[in-house]
Structure 1
Amino acid sequence: MTKTFELETLKMRLGDAEFQLLDLHQRIQRALRSLILDGALDPGLKLPATRVLAKSLGVARDTVENAYVQLHRDGFISRREGSGSYVSENVGTELRGAARRRMKQQDTRRSETAPAGPGLSRRGQMIFDSGGISDTQVIKAFATGLPETRTFPTDVWERLQRQAMKDYRASVLLHGDPQGAEPLRKAIATYLNLERGAKCSPDQVLVLSSTRQALFLCAQLLADAGKPILLENPGYYGARKAFETAETKVVPIDVDDQGIRTDLLQADRSGANCLYVTPSHQYPTGATLPLERRLELINWAAEHGKWIIEDDYDSEFHYDGLPTACVQGLDKYQRTIYLGTFSKTLYPGLRMGYMVLPYELVKPFSCARSIMDGHTPQILQLTLARFMEDGHYNSHVRAMRKLYAGRRSIMLDSIAKHLDGIAVALRPQGGLQIPCLLADGWSEEQTIRQAASAGVQLPGLSRLYAGEEKKQGWLLGYSSLTAYEIEAAMLRLANALNKK
């Protein structure tokens, strides 16, 4: 055991990177504290006098005195008048006891056949085991769901943000309404009623951080643990994870080339009271639900008292003709919960989405949201409201729609030119990605590995299927890539796949 104070040990600890940004007395105090906690300084060890230590370290005596004072206040050292400063015996006792407890726990774990978990709840373990969802944080071929961000009008956005800050001043620094800032709710309602054929008022809009937060709220408020909920098959991975981690039972409903099969809904006897659906642009097939099925869906929900969760995630980007009106606008029975996001139309880092709720659900969802994270940052909401009110949002969407339509054509041509044995599952009428199916004998897992070696990301299709039958393929995103980047990445992919 250490019997004397070793100055070199302290000097080495003072050199640690974690202490470099602190004031000098804080560095000495933190370094001594860490040595005590690590057991490098024994309980009862006498510390050098402040004058002696200051001289050894080349600092003022007051600097060391301030460090000792803080250590004494925190209980790490004791100071005896006329005797000096000592490492606290109490800290040493606690450290030795904690060390014994850790050793005992380690011995117990070694004796068990199965390793102990991290002490999570059952739901916590389920969430951890799911692996979460990995978002692409850089522009990369062929990642999905990434809009074009390099041409976003940041100068306009910054100007509007300065205006909002000037006009609202300190009020934007306070807590906001959990339901969302009124100017933004008005702008969203106006946009949806004019552009998406919705029928909603600002009072029905709930501003959130993302579609995933909306799905999490739906899972918590509309479905009990162990109860069924209906999802499209194949379908959005994030939706399935949100409901699974809420411990609901996901019941898949198959889709065809026209979207979800309403005949299977009519035949369902699971007892589920919710259906998650992407009617405007089915994820991942790209199918658009025809009007007849939309009306069947609405009548099914009304007759059986079900909730329709309509995810309209990229309906703005429809390239072949006009987009079909959203289900919410057709639903006179108020059984539809509408989900939208600005991550696809503007940029993912904005972290803002919204829900349009039937009147009876507005207060329950707002209450739940207030518990979850309070509110969305007010300055971003007010900036976005002005961006929409001044016409910049519609202008940006129109420009991106034209840009993405051209990139879709380039992507389809490039697939046909370079990839033998790959079939486009369905020429999508819109969206930001293209589903591709592999020919017999191809392995999705193997092609993903081959592509990764060439710096190309291939999001697999099979993970989007529930049940035993899973189609092998990819979902290729193109919206964030220029024509040159699409062609260059496709050539790298083709070369990688041809290497046996």
Structure 2
Amino acid sequence: MFKHSQLETVKAWLAQPAHAALPLHARIQRAIRQLILDGALGAGKPLPASRALAGSLGVSRDTVEAAYAQLHAEGFIERRVGSGSFVSEMTEFSPPRRPAPRDRRVRKQAPALSKRGEAMFRSGGVREPLAPRPFAPGVPETRTFPLHLWERLERQVLKEVGTGALLHGDPQGTEPLRRAIADYINLERGARATADRVLVLTSSQQALTLCATMLFDPGDRIFIEDPAYYGARRAFEAAALDCVPVRLDRQGLMAEQIMAEPRGARAVFLTPSHQFPTGATLALDRRLALIEWAARHEGWIIEDDYDSEFHYAGKPTACVQGLDPHERTIYIGTFTKSLFPGLRIGYALLPPALVQPMTVARTLLDGHSAPLAQLTLARFMEGGHFGAHVRTMRSVYAARLEVLVGLVRAHLSGFVEPRVPIGGLQMPCVLTGNLSEHAAVEAARRAGIELLGLSSLHAGGHGKAGFLMGFAAYTPAEMDVAVRKLAQAFRTVVNS
């Protein structure tokens, strides 16, 4: 059973007005999670039986069971049949003191193309297809988006705000949208967010570029997943950073490599909820170890949560930012995947000390995001339409993933093996036959099909041969036609 003080802490979470938007089970789960993170509940300590805790809190046993189930899913507790629930051994760590920030010099750029400018140009940038062909990855379905609803909300905004929506906007973002984003990621991603810490941007790519240029000097080292999202690698390399690849396994980035690295680095870049492109989820003990590393070494954790809305097996784990008490994590999100790419709205949840510098730097890039789109999106979120749309598309995408898996196994079994993901908008496939990755990608392109090669996402391009197949934006009929064309293209190459 809890000590009296621990029980009172949980009751306080239930009573606080700031937590009123959270369901009861989420408040209980987060209260217990905080007791574990603070060390008030040590590793191996037993938790009260669900029936006993429900009686003490005046809630149903199902509510407590739901809280325990989420804690177990996130790795905070272990559930032993016949014995009860216990704090997981992996949660035992000693949070270091928050170090004082280091001063960084701002370096002047040379005339014409600087070294950084040359690096940006050589990278080729990040270009998305204007009219995506199957199976371009990372593209959501836009043809079924509720445009009539969006237009109605936009008209409401124009009626209330009038020509004010046509003027310059707040560089940090409109307050209604920042508040809606903070409420959403607190509820759905377990973040520690307030509206004054949200910076509204045009995209997650802009957020990565801001981080690369504002937090680091040329030559600074940054740990980066290997394989990694190509847009992140190019943003960091264009800023003349030294990207240090860190291998992955089924539990995500191998944090022990970072701990053992003698030279260290200024930051680590992560896609912990759904690693791009492998789909791995970063284990809890590794998340906690990286938080400790960042605090001890005055480093930064750049957390890109690019598509966590679309999780098809269980619930996604809480974000790293919500677990970090030291304010060393920068959380990046986007509406490009969850709504539509043309919206051009992303955001960063920043430590308080970075809000003003990042906002000022943003004014030098593009000034602000369009106020009309921001206010419409805020209303879309406040009215519950965003959550409803995500739930609808999650079901659609899960069904399309199932169709694609069946098509690949039926028609491409001699060439590739699918790696079925638990979430996201694309599926990795590993080549198993005599077809090379380059030949496969080129054959697909000639057939009007877009594939992203896996080896290009690895440092040095030496990863396992294969490709990504996006499925979210394509109907079952479209995928059927495309997979059959792909199979024919592959056979032509192999037989030539």
**TM-score scaled by structure 1?**
0.75
Map of 1:269-284 to 2, 5 A cutoff? 269-284=262-277
Q: Which 10-residue stretch deviates more, 248-257 or 149-158?
A: 248-257
For residue 399 of structure 2, what is the aligned residue in structure 1? 406
Deviation at 1:270, TM superposition (A): 3.2
Q: Tell me, yes or no, if the aligned pair for 1:232 and 1:260 is still in contact at 8 Å.
A: yes
Deviation at 1:482, TM superposition (A): 0.5
Deviation at 1:423, TM superposition (A): 4.3
For residue 385 of structure 2, what is the aligned residue in structure 1? 392
Match of 2:330 among 326, 332, 337: 337
CA distance in 2, matches of 1:123, 1:369: 18
State the aligned residue count.
383
Q: Which 10-residue stretch deviates more, 240-249 or 417-426?
A: 417-426
CA distance in 2, matches of 1:462, 1:229: 21
Q: Look up the equivalent residue of 1:320 and give its one-letter code.
A: A
Deviation at 1:311, TM superposition (A): 0.3
Deviation at 1:467, TM superposition (A): 3.0
For residue 236 of structure 1, what is the aligned residue in structure 2? 229
Query: What per-residue deviation string (whole Å, max 9, x for no partner) do you get for residues 281-330 of structure 1?
Result: 00000111122222222122222221100000000000001111111111
For residue 432 of structure 2, what is the aligned residue in structure 1? 439
Deviation at 1:369, TM superposition (A): 0.6
For residue 448 of structure 1, what is the aligned residue in structure 2? 441
Does residue 364 in structure 1 map to residue 357 in structure 2?
Answer: yes
Deviation at 1:413, TM superposition (A): 1.1
Deviation at 1:425, TM superposition (A): 5.9
Does residue 259 in structure 1 map to residue 252 in structure 2?
Answer: yes
Query: What per-residue deviation string (whole Å, max 9, x for no partner) do you get for residues 319-363 of structure 1?
Result: 001111111111111111000000000000111100000111111
Does residue 196 in structure 1 map to residue 206 in structure 2?
Answer: no
CA distance in 1, matches of 2:112, 2:354: 35
Match of 1:225 among 210, 218, 228: 218
Match of 1:212 among 199, 202, 205: 205
Q: Tell me, yes or no, if the aligned pair for 1:285 and 1:425 is still in contact at 8 Å.
A: no
**Equivalent position SS for 2:155:** helix
Match of 1:496 among 484, 489, 492: 489
CA distance in 2, matches of 1:496, 1:230: 38
Mind listing any 5+ residue stretches in structure 2 that lack a counterpart?
Answer: 1-110
CA distance in 1, matches of 2:282, 2:409: 27
Query: What per-residue deviation string (whole Å, max 9, x for no partner) do you get for residues 442-475 of structure 1?
Result: 2111111111222111111111010363221101
CA distance in 2, matches of 1:128, 1:361: 28
For residue 472 of structure 2, what is the aligned residue in structure 1? 479
Query: Residues 424, 430 of structure 1: CA spacing in aligned structure 2 closer, same or farther, 3 A cutoff?
Result: farther
**Equivalent position SS for 1:323:** coil
CA distance in 2, matches of 1:379, 1:179: 15
Match of 1:172 among 147, 165, 174: 165
Provide the alpha-carbon RMSD of the alignment: 1.5
Q: Which 10-residue stretch deviates more, 436-445 or 252-261?
A: 436-445
Q: Look up the equivalent residue of 1:259 and give its one-letter code.
A: G
Does residue 137 in structure 1 map to residue 130 in structure 2?
Answer: yes
CA distance in 1, matches of 2:332, 2:361: 16
**Equivalent position SS for 1:309:** strand
CA distance in 2, matches of 1:497, 1:301: 46
Deviation at 1:215, TM superposition (A): 0.3
Q: Tell me, yes or no, if the aligned pair for 2:137 and 2:470 is still in contact at 8 Å.
A: yes
Q: Look up the equivalent residue of 1:170 and give its one-letter code.
A: T
CA distance in 1, matches of 2:312, 2:214: 36
The runs of at least 4 consecutive aligned structure 1 residues that moved more than 6 Å come to none
**Equivalent position SS for 2:303:** strand
For residue 157 of structure 1, what is the aligned residue in structure 2? 150
- Once the two structures are aligned, what percentage of the paired residues are identical? 53
Q: Look up the equivalent residue of 1:202 and give its one-letter code.
A: A
Q: Look up the equivalent residue of 2:348 and give its one-letter code.
A: M
CA distance in 2, matches of 1:331, 1:358: 10
Q: Which 10-residue stretch deviates more, 481-490 or 288-297?
A: 288-297
**Equivalent position SS for 1:346:** coil
For residue 95 of structure 1, what is the aligned residue in structure 2? none
For residue 63 of structure 1, what is the aligned residue in structure 2? none
Deviation at 1:440, TM superposition (A): 5.5
Match of 1:462 among 455, 460, 479: 455
For residue 73 of structure 2, what is the aligned residue in structure 1? none
**TM-score scaled by structure 2?**
0.75
Match of 1:248 among 218, 238, 241: 241
Structure with max Cα Rg = 1
Q: Tell me, yes or no, if the aligned pair for 2:182 and 2:194 is still in contact at 8 Å.
A: yes
Mind listing any 5+ residue stretches in structure 1 that lack a counterpart?
Answer: 1-117
For residue 423 of structure 2, what is the aligned residue in structure 1? 430
**Equivalent position SS for 2:377:** helix
